[in-house]
């Protein structure tokens, strides 16, 4: 069976990739992205686990007459932070897999 890859070698490479991915996921959980909305009035930090780590709100934006604006700013900042966290994870996984998109990883 000339030209057939060695199954043992393929399994070893798959195991190495799995170990590298586990390490990368651990590292990504410690990395963060920061984004803001309203010119910095609302700032959100998200982790590589795509969890919100913190939200900071400038006291000047807190207006009891316009709670809806504050809600919109928080929503925009949170959504952008989660998007950036997903991008960070995708870029790091792409580096690990050599640009090959493996379904279920990202």
Residue 106 has pLDDT above 80, yes or no: no
Rounded CA-CA distance 28/50 in Å is 9
Is residue 55 in a domain?
yes
- Give the total number of structural domains in the chain: 1
Segment 75-89 mean pLDDT = 93
Sign of CA dihedral 68, 71, 73, 79: negative
State the Cα torsion 43-95-93-12 to the nearest 10°. -150
The tokens for 58 are 């400038």
Is residue 72 in a domain?
yes
Q: How many residues does the chain have?
A: 106
Residue 84 has pLDDT above 80, yes or no: yes
Is residue 73 in a domain?
yes
Rounded CA-CA distance 33/89 in Å is 11
Question: What pLDDT is attached to residue 9?
Answer: 82
The answer to whether the pTM exceeds 0.85 is no
Rounded CA-CA distance 50/64 in Å is 30
Segment 53-65 mean pLDDT = 92
Is residue 11 in a domain?
no
Which CATH number belongs to the domain containing residue 81 in this structure? 3.30.1310.10
> What's the domain range around 61?
32-97
Which residues, listed in sequence order, are joined to residue 47 by a DSSP beta bridge?
Answer: 32
The pLDDT confidence band at residue 24, using thresholds 50, 70 and 90, is confident
Rounded CA-CA distance 97/103 in Å is 12
């Amino acid at each position: 069976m000339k030209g057939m890859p060695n199954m043992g070698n393929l399994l070893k490479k798959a195991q190495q990739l799995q170990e590298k991915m586990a390490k990368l996921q651990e590292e990504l959980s410690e990395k963060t992205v920061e984004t803001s909305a309203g010119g910095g009035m609302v700032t959100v930090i998200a982790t590589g686990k795509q969890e919100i780590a913190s939200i900071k709100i400038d006291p000047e934006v807190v207006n009891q007459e316009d709670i809806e604006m504050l809600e919109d700013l928080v929503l925009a900042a949170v959504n952008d932070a989660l998007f950036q966290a997903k991008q960070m994870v995708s870029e790091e996984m792409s580096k690990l897999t050599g640009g090959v998109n493996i379904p279920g990883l990202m």
